[in-house]
Amino acid sequence: MSAIIERIAPAGTWTADPVHSTVGFEVGYSGVSTFRGSFREFEATLDGSGLSGSARVASVDVKDEQLNGHLQSPDFFDAQRYPEITFKATELSRTDEDRVSAKGELTIKGVTHPITLEGTVSPDSTTDPFGREKVGLTLTSEIDRTDYGINWNAPNQSGGDYLANGVKLVAELVLIKAAE
């Protein structure tokens, strides 16, 4: 695995910089717009065993406290019973065009399914003003939320439902190499 990791980033352990990284989701809303949310508390690690990450459900942020609470309820993420969403990729690949693929498993509400995330990685690592080596990694995928037991919806008065079942997952990570 470490040879594959080295094609993504130089050997070592890399962790997400929480200030410069985001983990979120996008879902069609009311048939006319895209609703976006993110998680304020998350972790991601890239090392010789693969790429792994988790997001604290209680940190979901959609710019409305009442809706944040509803998303934490059993109708959606059920934060009390399932406090984390997790991802673990053990198969990573990078093409010469800086495209990346991460195959692994996503667990939401205790339900795990295989998933492939696609995206880009910065061509080379850089060093920030504090001497830390960094690399950028952006990954996206689309899932059907109902596959994970997130079934809440409401009928739209114009027809159909308010929420689409397809949800785009987005991770924009700035990874910092751990000191050796």
Domain count of the fold of the chain? 1
Residues in contact with 28: Cβ distance below 8 Å, sequence separation at least 6, in sequence order: 34, 35, 163, 164, 166
Of all residues in the chain, the percent with pLDDT exceeding 90 is 81
- Which residues constitute the domain of residue 122? 2-177
Q: Which one, of 2, 84, 73, lies nearest residue 41 by Cα? A: 84
Query: What does the pLDDT look like over 143-176, one tens digit per residue?
Result: 999 999 999 999 988 888 999 999 999 999 999 9
Res 158: pLDDT? 84
Residues in contact with 42: Cβ distance below 8 Å, sequence separation at least 6, in sequence order: 16, 18, 21, 23, 53, 54, 55, 56, 59
Cα–Cα distance between 102 and 41 in angstroms, integer?
Answer: 22
Question: Domain with 55 in it: what CATH number?
Answer: 2.40.128.110
For the segment 58-78, the average pLDDT, to the nearest whole number, is 95
Residue 5: pLDDT over 80: no
pTM given for the model: 0.93
